[in-house]
Amino acid sequence: MKNPINGLNKVFDNRIRLGVMSILVVNEEVNFNDLKQMLEVTDGNLATHLVNLEDNGYIKVHKGFVGKKTNTTYSVTKAGEKAFSDHIAALETMIKGVK
């Protein structure tokens, strides 16, 4: 049996990053505050992980305005979608492998 842990994505080791991806694959575009509310994390913590995901090319950032307030929204990239589904597939193999 090949080692299933190989398929797991290091970037998704973190619960917050995994949470962000889980939200973005089922929602077209989500803003910072909604992500914060759903994941119950602090601003700084979330921001760090978002930068990490962006650096990996998994999410896209759109800076916009609502009135005079900035409204930053995030969406998943093709690469992000692929990485996420590969990660899920690896998790599935792990469960099947142990059975």
Partner 1 sequence: MSEQTRQSDTLQEISDIKRIMERSSRFISLSGLSGIAAGICALAGAYFANNIIADYYNKYNSGAGYSDKDFESLKLKLLLLAVIVLVAALLLAFVFTWRRAKQNQLPVWDLTARKLMWNVLIPLISGGLFILAMLQYNEWRFVAPACLIFYGLALVNGSKYTLTDIRYLGYLEVILGLINTQYTGYGLYFWAAGFGVLHIVYGVIMWWKYEKSS
Q: Provide the binding-site residues for partner 1, judged by CB under 8 A.
A: 15, 18-19, 22-23, 25-27, 30, 34, 37-39, 88, 91-92, 94-95, 98
**Residue for token pair 């509310």:** 37
Considering the complex, state which of residue 7 and residue 52 has its C-beta at the smaller distance from partner 1: 7
Q: How far is the CB of 87 from partner 1 (least distance, A)?
A: 9
CA–CA distance from 60 to each of 3, 34, 36, 47, 82 (Å)?
32, 16, 17, 13, 14
Q: What is the DSSP letter of 28?
A: S
Considering the complex, state which of residue 27 and residue 48 has its C-beta at the smaller distance from partner 1: 27
